[in-house]
Structure formats: structure tokens, C-alpha cells
Copies of this chain bind each other. A is one copy, B any other.
Amino acid sequence: MSKRKANTRQRRGSAQPTLAQVAELAGVSSITASRALNDPERVNAATRQRILDAMERIGYVPNLVAGSLASARSRFIAVVVPSLANAVFIEVIQGLQATFEAAGYQILLGNTDYDIEREHQLVRTFLGWSCSALVTAGLRHTPACRELLAGCDRPVMEVMELGEALDLNVGLDHEEAGSCMARHLLQRGYRDIVYVGARMGEDYRAAMRYAGHRAALEAAGLAPHLLELDRLGSLEAGAEGLERVREQFPDAKAIHFANDDLATGALLHALRLGMRVPEEIAIAGFNGLPLGQHVTPRLTTIQSSRHTMGRLAAEQVLRCLAGEEVEARRQDVGFTLLEGEST
């Protein structure tokens, strides 16, 4: 009895077929079966086919968890963004995903809800999954998170804005973009200009654009005006922004919105109210979302190429992972002023 008992220890594990079973069926060792999947060149073609047939036959699904543990690397790329509600991040994610998936990497998506503590938490989790690289939206992290990111021996890519990056960096200069739009408004002859942002403490890139806007106005000898909404950018919030500008800044002739959602919301609201744009009020945005180009008048905005940003970022990371030397660790994707009829 006791002898039996000693052997009775329950087996764990799923009932899934394993590589060892495949190997046995194919009459090879498990390492050869492993190679047939991961390094096919190193296995004789006939043997390989026998192994693949065996896999097919017993319905083998590779246990990637075991593989990652053994090889100390996964084919995960961690992607951390502050929000999924914002089309901008979605487009960056699309660019990343298309490129990474094509290279056989899987995206691990994390959403911080604009909370850098949450970001730190997510980074820890993702590192725990032995992700091959990390992509974060933005350069602002908690000190502990910076330390984690700097200390992990994997490529770290920071996208969206340019600056003092930890490793790789693809983005655009938001201050410059804000300044560009402000100069455009000045050039069009507007003097009473209000900048409208939404939760700029969280969306600090909007605050960076405001800084550029402000600098441009001050350079022209004008006082900047700021209105901040206590809600995230949306069409609805844009409508509210327009209303509040009319109350608080009755002389305003132009509104520079922090993004296209706000700007388009305001534009549609103005049309709904029967206001003439840009005669009564000029409206400008940022992002270059398709929506703004389909309304009449078309929205004046700044086009940022988010899909390209994602693609470039992914390509850089892949280059690093392939061991290639990456010369330009910082890439500026730039932006374009789209002059619509709304200004």
C-alpha cells in the first residue's frame, strides 16, 4: 500500500498532447520535434514532414508558456496606452499591430486610463510575461517605472512625443505643432484667440501644444487665453467648450481646440446654432481625423500620421530585436497643417 501511495501523487497538467508525444509518434526525440517548428532548416525535410504529420494527427497545439520559460523570451510586445476611447491611440495601435503581427509577434495591450501608477503596474506585469519589447505612449512615467524600463534588457520604445527618451523614440513635437497652429491663426488675422483643452493634467500632450500656442501668441505681443474642460475630449465636450467660450470670452474670434473631437463637436454645434464659421467664430483642431475633413466647412487642423508612427515604431523595435544596429534612436514623424475653411 505505502509503496503504491508513494507513486500515487496526482499528476497535474492539461490533457493536451505534448511535444514528447508528437516526437514518440514520429519516432524522433522531442528536441528534433521542437526544431521542426522553431528552426525547420536544421531538420531533414522528410523527418520534418513526418513530425508535422504527427502533430496534425494528434492535434498538437504548442505550449508557448513552456517554450517561453525554457527560452526566457516570449513573442510578446507589450503596448501601454492611456486610453482606448481616443481614436489617436487606436490608430497607433493598428500601425504597431499590423507590423508586429506580420513579424510573428503578439501584442499585449494595456490601458492605463491616464494613470501613471497603473502604467507602472502594467509594465511590471508585462515584464513578468517576458515580453520581447515594450512600447509606451509618452515619456512620462513614475520614477520606479522609469527604473524598471531602463533596467530591463529589452528594447523600450516611447511613442507620440519627442524628448528625453529611455531608449527608442518615435513621435512629433507637440509644442511645435501648437505653435504652428497659433501662427496660422495669427496669420489669418485673428487676435482674440482662446485655447480650449480637456483634462490637460492627464492629456499632457495637449498642454504641450498649449505651451507652443502660448509662446506664439506672446511672441506676437498677445495675451493667451485658456479654457480647460473637466472631461475628456468628445464631440459633446466640444459643444460645451463653444458655449463656455461664448460666455467667458465674448470677444473671441477664434478657438484653438486641443484636438479634433473637441473642434468638430464645436463646429457641428455652431452649425446647429446657425452660427457662421469662420465669419463669426473660427475653429481649429489637432489630429487630422477624417471626420473633420467631411464636415462643411472643413476643419482646419494639424495632420499627424499616427498609423505611420505605429509602423515606424514597430519597425525600429523589430530591427533592435533582430540585433541590427539602430542608428536613429529618435525619429520625428512631423506633422502637416491642413487648412480647411473653418479658419
The answer to whether B111 touches A108 (Cβ under 8 A) is no
In the complex, what residues of B have CB within 8 A of residue A290's CB?
234-236
Q: A85 and B94 in contact (CB under 8 A), knowing A65-B69, A268-B294?
A: yes
Q: Does A84 contact B (CB under 8 A)?
A: yes
The answer to whether B63 touches A130 (Cβ under 8 A) is yes
What residue of chain B has the Cβ atom nearest to residue A97's Cβ? B111
Stretch at the interface among A27-35, A121-129, A190-198, A328-336: A121-129
The answer to whether A84 touches B74 (Cβ under 8 A) is no
The answer to whether A272 touches B296 (Cβ under 8 A) is yes
Q: Does A322 contact B (CB under 8 A)?
A: no
In the complex, what residues of B have CB within 8 A of residue A107's CB?
109
Q: Does A90 contact B (CB under 8 A)?
A: yes
In the complex, what residues of B have CB within 8 A of residue A68's CB?
65
The answer to whether B235 touches A294 (Cβ under 8 A) is yes
The answer to whether B128 touches A64 (Cβ under 8 A) is yes
Known: A61-B124, A97-B109. 7 other contacts (CB 8 A): A64-B129, A65-B74, A65-B129, A65-B130, A66-B69, A84-B97, A268-B296
Instruction: Report A's interface with B, CB cutoff 8 A.
Output: 12-14, 59, 61-66, 68-69, 72, 74, 84-85, 87, 90, 93-94, 97, 101, 106-111, 124-125, 127-130, 148, 151, 153, 234-236, 239, 264-265, 268-269, 271-272, 290-291, 294-296
Top 8 closest A-B pairs, CB basis?
A64-B128, A235-B294, A268-B294, A65-B68, A109-B109, A65-B69, A272-B296, A62-B128
